[in-house]
Structure 1
Amino acid sequence: MSWIIGIAVVIGLAIAISWRIAGRNEIPLTAEVRKAEASGETLPLEPGELYFTRRGPADGPVVVMIHGFGTPHMVFEQNADALAAAGFHVVLFDHFGRGWSDRPPARYDADFYDRELSGLLDALALKEPLALVGYSMGGVIAAEFAERHPERLTALVLFAPAGLALEPFLGKILGRLLRIRLLGDWLWRLRARALLLGDPQFTKPPSDPTRCLQGDDTIQMRYRGYFPALLQTWRHLPMEDRDAVFGSASKKVPMLAFFGDRDQTIGIESEARLRRVAPHARVEMIEGGTHGLLYEMHDTVNPLMIDFLRSNTH
């Protein structure tokens, strides 16, 4: 019996030590850090401070851009610049748990993200109908918001939206294990950084600097709370088989969706499924497009997006 207790103690110590080592370099994201490092503003919402920036003419039609799972608002840099130059007033923000926003411990589910977006619009007094642009996980959030609050929107643009068919980008087995409390928390603590840094956006050198992320996506990883927020999102925000939500949203709000035929994160099946459940939507398959098609092929997608928004905003 004593040897069983001894093994349990050793395992417990190993887990505790590895947990401590994995997060040893993370520091708190404070107001002072944010003021020194970021150029935007924050809004005090119920979960904490939400970071946002604006660009484009103040009196232009409003477009709010919703980023995805791990990369903050800078993922839209090339698209936001084009929208601003075309006369739109663009609002970009970082989800709670990402970028320069606070990282509250919370259940990051569909209701949480709906409150986050509603809180942003209300705090900025954006009462007139506006357009949403959602990328990847942001596509699920945007479609859900359109389904719940169609009166607040004029148009919906989706880049490589999750919510239909999702490739196992975290791995089939690991993805399931991460949903198990305690075990999943420990595995994520140990493996999250390596998994995310293995993304092609970090490992593939850009041949054209204008067609890659405009900023350092790893800065946000320095601050405590980023990785737990991702894990809670993975556990609580359904990112597959939301076909009914997209179908309902497309009936209520004009929808344009872009997919890439080389996207290894959003299954190519997603394009066919969206066409089937949302026949009212305009769907564009971009030849050669990867999951980063919005910045890698911005010169292709931006004109289509701008024309669509001009036809559906006021």
Structure 2
Amino acid sequence: MKYFVAQGEDRNFGISTRSTLRGSYIELFDGVTHYELLGPEAGEIVVLVGGLTVPLFYWDQVVAVLHDAGLRTLTYSSYGRGYSDRIRGTYDDALFIRQINDLIQSLNITEPLHVVGASMGALIAMEYVSQNAVSVSSLTIAGPAGLAKKPLALRLLQSSDSLAGFVAKNFGRKLLAKHESNDLGDRARAAELSAMLQDAYQYEGSLYAVFDTVQHFNLFNRTALYKAVSASYVPSMLIWGKDDLVTPIDNLDEARDLLQPEQSHVLECGHMVPFERSRDVANLIQAFIKIHSMRSTS
């Protein structure tokens, strides 16, 4: 898809712009990444990977609980999201895997990590684990993508760059609004989610980034990846929302069979489990990490 700037994207990034925004920034191979490395300096590090549309702020309530539990967290916005650069190129699997690898290496993090991913971020997390199993202590995935059947409409979009660009530019915001309406089962934080997303959508190239990702990132038919993670013997935990409309819970049994997680939990919520049930998810994560801590608690 050819790069474009959509109507309403009237802001761009620069040193002066980012100096007024929350978080830290680092130049990586493909561009600047927006990240936060926070929490007790002596704590084991938890890396949290967001999904298709969300910035790092998505994890705020989760990380607060993890910090209270003595854990250190690394959150970041994928390219095209939050305050990370909008890439004038292809948003495929290789880009997002390179970003997480580059970020961890550039921050000189060498200790074993606990990795958490949600939705599309679960696939990025799993790919990272499959490539770096020896340096990962545990994996948690919530509402993971990769098992649903590819819709006909998406197959059509992926068949033509010109068609994909036309749809993205002319109908992209309506399609994203529809997607957002399906994200939450409990609408209590819907306004907060919408404000978070709309803030990021003001920056040039945001709509392009999301739709190029949909066109080029492999969101479907990822059974081989689930099997590879299972074969890595990294301890894993699976969390799913009972009323998930985006990655339906119908796929839960298949995910269990493929991943063979040590633990599996179903919560009363929709797709965005870490956002809707932040404290519950954080408590599950910190308890799972405690079991698989690389440090002596004596």
- Which residue type is aligned with residue 29 of structure 1? F
1:306 aligns with 2:289: no
SS of the counterpart of 1:82? helix
Q: Which of 264, 270, 287 is the aligned partner of 2:251?
A: 270
Q: 1:200: which partner in 2?
A: 181
Q: Give a deviation string over 1:34-84, Cα, whole Å, max 9, x none.
A: 212x12111111111111012210110000110000011111111111111
Q: Give a deviation string over 1:160-198, Cα, whole Å, max 9, x none.
A: 111122685xxx42x233322112101111111122123
Q: State the identity as a percent.
A: 25
Q: 1:86–1:306: 8 Å Cα contact kept in structure 2?
A: yes
1:123 aligns with 2:136: no
**Aligned-partner Cα distance in 2 for 1:48–1:248:** 29
Offset, 1:214: 9.5
1:152 aligns with 2:129: no
- Which residue type is aligned with residue 71 of structure 1? V
Q: 1:64–1:130: 8 Å Cα contact kept in structure 2?
A: yes
**Aligned-partner Cα distance in 2 for 1:61–1:236:** 34
Q: 2:208: which partner in 1?
A: 228
**Aligned-partner Cα distance in 2 for 1:307–1:166:** 33
SS of the counterpart of 2:243? coil
Q: 1:26: which partner in 2?
A: 10
1:137 aligns with 2:117: no
**Aligned-partner Cα distance in 1 for 2:183–2:130:** 35
Q: 1:66-215 alignment to 2 at 5 Å?
A: 66-165=49-148, 172-173=152-153, 175-179=154-158, 180-198=160-178, 199-200=180-181, 206-207=187-188, 213=193
SS of the counterpart of 1:216? helix
**Runs of at least 5 residues in structure 1 that lack an aligned partner in the other structure:** 1-18
Structure 1 pair 25–276 and aligned structure 2 pair: CA distance change class (3 A): closer
Query: Which structure carries more relative contact order (alpha carbon 8 Å, separation 6+)?
Result: 2
- Which residue type is aligned with residue 62 of structure 1? I
Q: Give a deviation string over 1:229-254, Cα, whole Å, max 9, x none.
A: 11221122111121121122123211
Q: Give a deviation string over 1:95-125, Cα, whole Å, max 9, x none.
A: 1111101111122222211111110000110
Offset, 1:299: 3.1
**Runs of at least 5 residues in structure 2 that lack an aligned partner in the other structure:** none
Q: How many residues align?
A: 288
Structure 1 pair 34–178 and aligned structure 2 pair: CA distance change class (3 A): farther
Offset, 1:279: 2.3
SS of the counterpart of 1:246? helix
Q: 2:275: which partner in 1?
A: 295
**Aligned-partner Cα distance in 2 for 1:31–1:164:** 40
- Which residue type is aligned with residue 52 of structure 2? F
Structure 1 pair 167–294 and aligned structure 2 pair: CA distance change class (3 A): farther
Q: 2:185–2:271: 8 Å Cα contact kept in structure 1?
A: no
**Aligned-partner Cα distance in 1 for 2:97–2:139:** 15
- Which residue type is aligned with residue 23 of structure 2? G
**Aligned-partner Cα distance in 2 for 1:164–1:201:** 18
Structure 1 pair 178–30 and aligned structure 2 pair: CA distance change class (3 A): farther
SS of the counterpart of 1:222? coil
Structure 1 pair 51–157 and aligned structure 2 pair: CA distance change class (3 A): same
**Aligned-partner Cα distance in 2 for 1:227–1:211:** 20
Q: Which of 227, 238, 249 is the aligned partner of 2:218?
A: 238
Q: 2:116–2:122: 8 Å Cα contact kept in structure 1?
A: yes
Query: TM (normalized to structure 1)?
Result: 0.85
CA radius of gyration, larger in: 1
